[in-house]
Amino acid sequence: MKKEIHLSQNPEHVRKEREQLVKQLLATIPREDANRGGLIETPKRVAKMYNEIFEGYEQEDQLDLIFSKVFGTDNDEMVIVKDINYWSHCEHHMVPFFGKVHIGYIPSGKVLGLSKFARLVNVYSRRLQIQEQLTFQIADEIEKRLNPKGLAVVVEGVHMCMVMRGVKSIDSSTITSSMRGIFREKPEARQEFLKLISK
């Protein structure tokens, strides 16, 4: 019979439960000693690290704050924020993937403070997921909040599940995109955006 693990919602209990699970994992590694000096504090470090690398789950309430810095504008020209760095974790192997996010939009009366795009990326990237999902989550949130005439989100990623295991393709990268409104309907707008982010 399969044993289910039920984690407490109390932060201190969660930390202790995580530590115990990491100890169990270390014990399964052949010819490794989970009690040796270099590993004795590893369960504590991993438990603490998880709070940081998966903090996106706890930041849903920050979305309203992020989009509180929306300003009215008459501008209807393209706005691009490129090279936003991110780190995330693959939901299939729980190893990192990382890279850059490029966002472009054509305002429809509203613009967002530029630094808020990086904050938005952080909220959605610090979770277990696939790159395609990350791309659409960012695009969906911007579309819902700003309702731009056009929106383009391009995410570049290097996946450690391909680099360090399996095919071990060291130089591979993945590009995903979501093109909406004018960027989907007008090839010339899409090409202008892609040209600008490639510089």
Catalytic residues: 90-93, 131, 159, 161
SS3 84: strand
Q: What is the DSSP letter of 5?
A: P
Residues in the chain: 199
Half-sphere exposure for 73 (CA within 13 Å, toward CB): 17
Euclidean distance between CA atoms 197 and 83, whole angstroms? 8
90, 19 in Cβ contact below 8 A? no
Return the sign of the alpha-carbon dihedral for residues 81, 82, 87, 92.
Answer: positive
